[in-house]
């Protein structure tokens, strides 16, 4: 108890207590003392559907339902017309039981509560992770009328393989995502989680600093309304960890910082592919590259005017392949300091960069297979090529573009 307040009548009391802290003790003339109760811990609230316009529920064996969290019955086929309906398992399960509902043309609803009530009876303090990817299907896949999952509790902080894989796939009306508190990730844990959630504007925070294979693979791919990304502070990466993470996010104008200096296979592959509104790329400080690490990373970013610096001097197979393909606003390539090229390292790197008119390279050994394959195909018909390594190039898209001027000093 923090305060004692006296009110002349119930109307005044209710108006004041609606905006003050919980735990206030009050005295009302004619009614006596009362205490505004402390709200329940959100983790103690079972999973619920909060309906504004009807959905149709089917029975699920072993799953119970309630409208007041006190009186529970087995789920039955019914129409949920309005308000919250809560769900819990009747006995502990090895895998989650899914409430089975279908949407109508005018359905409108949110979901919330602790998702572990669909697995365990005593779910309130259960932070274990369970697989909500079942029978090759995301748990809430194609729920096109679902508006918000902002109050959904995913309590696990240590995840398991594929646990939330495809969870909200094609939830095209979803505007709010649940918090994702996990700090220990697992292979494919969030892969495709919000795939094609075309109304989602803000991504949830991602606090993990050590990643797992494909953990964020295509996580927000096709989220065409996304304008805000989470901070990506991880410095220990894993194969394919950010592959296609923001692929096709056409409203994204800025990219998160990427502080890792040691890369792994395909870690940033396709990461911002098709982000046509992106005007600035993140700094890329890595000096230790890996196969396909930047492959197609900024492909199709047609608003990108400046390329990030690429400081690495030791390259890897296909490390920069397709990296800036179709970046039609780019005029100057980043300085390329490597003296020895790797197989396909620059293959199609600047393919279709129609305004690109300046390239600076320190390459001396360009004998690696496919290292310059179509790397300058479709660039500006005139430009300057700074050959500071003295390598001998062929003329054309696989070397120095016809019509460009070769310069041997900066």
Residues in the chain: 410
Pick from 124, 155, 170: which residue ends a domain?
124
pLDDT reported for residue 5: 62
Pick from 76, 93, 124: which residue ends a domain?
124
- Count of other CB atoms within 10 angstroms of residue 110: 20
Instruction: Classify residue 94: in a domain, yes or no.
Output: yes
Instruction: Classify residue 96: in a domain, yes or no.
Output: yes
Instruction: Classify residue 59: in a domain, yes or no.
Output: yes
pLDDT reported for residue 286: 96
Rounded Cα distance, 221 and 212, in Å:
18
Instruction: Classify residue 97: in a domain, yes or no.
Output: yes
pLDDT reported for residue 1: 42
Q: How many domains does the chain have?
A: 2
Instruction: Classify residue 361: in a domain, yes or no.
Output: no
Rounded Cα distance, 126 and 133, in Å:
19
Question: What distance separates the 2 farthest-apart alpha carbons in the chain?
Answer: 97
pLDDT reported for residue 40: 75
Q: Do 69 and 93 belong to one domain?
A: yes
Q: Do 55 and 24 belong to one domain?
A: no
Encode the chain (410 residues) as per-residue pLDDT tens digits: 445 666 677 666 566 555 555 555 555 566 666 655 566 788 999 999 999 999 999 999 999 999 999 999 999 999 999 999 999 999 999 999 999 999 999 999 999 999 999 999 999 999 999 999 876 788 999 999 999 999 999 999 999 999 999 999 999 999 999 999 999 999 999 999 999 999 999 999 999 989 999 999 999 999 999 999 999 999 999 999 999 999 999 999 999 999 999 999 999 999 999 999 999 999 999 999 999 999 999 999 999 999 999 999 999 999 999 999 999 999 999 999 999 999 999 999 999 999 999 999 999 999 999 999 999 999 999 999 999 999 999 999 999 999 999 998 76
Instruction: Classify residue 406: in a domain, yes or no.
Output: no
Using CA atoms, how far residue 116 sits from 15, 45, 97, 165, 232, in Å, is 36, 10, 10, 16, 27
Q: Do 67 and 114 belong to one domain?
A: yes
Residues 6+ apart with CB under 8 A from 140: 111, 146, 149, 167, 168, 169, 171
H or E segment and range at residue 11: helix 10-17
Q: Do 14 and 71 belong to one domain?
A: no
- Count of other CB atoms within 10 angstroms of residue 70: 7
Instruction: Classify residue 99: in a domain, yes or no.
Output: yes
Q: Do 54 and 95 belong to one domain?
A: yes
Label residues 266-293 b or e (16+ Cβ within 10 Å = b).
bbbbbbbbbbbebeebbebebeebbbbb
Q: Do 53 and 94 belong to one domain?
A: yes
Structure tokens at 114: 């602790």
Instruction: Classify residue 219: in a domain, yes or no.
Output: no
Q: Model-level pTM?
A: 0.89
Q: Do 46 and 26 belong to one domain?
A: no
Query: Which residues span the domain enclosing 104?
Result: 41-124
Pick from 104, 124, 144: which residue ends a domain?
124
């Amino acid at each position: 108890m923090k305060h004692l307040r006296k009110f002349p009548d119930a109307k005044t009391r209710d108006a004041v207590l609606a905006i003050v802290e919980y735990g206030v003790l009050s005295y009302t003339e004619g009614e006596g003392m009362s205490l505004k109760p402390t709200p329940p811990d959100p983790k103690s609230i079972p999973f619920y559907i909060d309906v504004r316009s009807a959905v149709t529920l089917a029975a699920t064996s072993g799953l119970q339902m309630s409208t007041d969290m006190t009186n529970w019955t087995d789920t039955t086929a019914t129409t949920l017309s309005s308000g919250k309906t809560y769900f819990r398992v009747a006995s502990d399960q090895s895998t989650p039981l899914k409430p089975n509902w279908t949407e109508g043309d005018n359905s409108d609803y949110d979901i919330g509560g602790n998702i572990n009530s669909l697995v365990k009876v005593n779910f309130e303090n259960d932070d274990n992770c369970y697989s909500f990817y079942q029978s090759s299907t995301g748990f809430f896949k194609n729920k096109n009328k679902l508006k918000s999952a902002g109050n959904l509790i995913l309590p696990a902080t240590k995840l398991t393989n594929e646990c939330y894989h495809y969870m909200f796939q094609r939830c095209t009306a979803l505007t709010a995502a649940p918090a994702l508190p996990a700090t220990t990730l697992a292979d494919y844990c969030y892969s495709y989680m919000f795939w094609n959630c075309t109304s989602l504007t803000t991504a949830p925070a991602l606090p993990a600093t050590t990643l797992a294979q494909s953990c964020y693979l295509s996580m927000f791919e096709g989220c065409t309304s996304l304008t805000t990304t989470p901070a990506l502070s991880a410095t220990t990466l894993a194969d394919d960890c950010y592959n296609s993470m923001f692929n096709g996010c056409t409203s994204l104008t800025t990219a998160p910082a990427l502080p890792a200096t040691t890369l792994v296979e395909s870690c940033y592959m396709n990461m911002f592919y098709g982000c046509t509104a992106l005007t600035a790329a993140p700094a890329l400080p890595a000096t230790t590259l890996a196969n396909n690490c930047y492959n197609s990373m900024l492909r199709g970013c047609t608003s990108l005017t400046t390329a990030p610096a690429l400081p690495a001097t030791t390259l890897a197979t296909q490390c920069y392949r397709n990296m800036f393909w179709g970046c039609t606003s780019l005029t100057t390539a980043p300085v390329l300091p490597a003296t020895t090229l790797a197989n396909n390292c620059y293959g199609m790197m600047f393919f279709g960069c129609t305004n690109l008119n300046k390239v600076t390279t320190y390459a001396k050994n360009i004998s690696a297979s496919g290292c310059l394959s179509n790397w300058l195909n479709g660039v500006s018909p005139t430009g300057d090529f700074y050959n500071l390594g003295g390598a001998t190039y062929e003329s054309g898209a696989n070397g120095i573009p016809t019509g460009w001027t070769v310069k041997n000093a900066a």
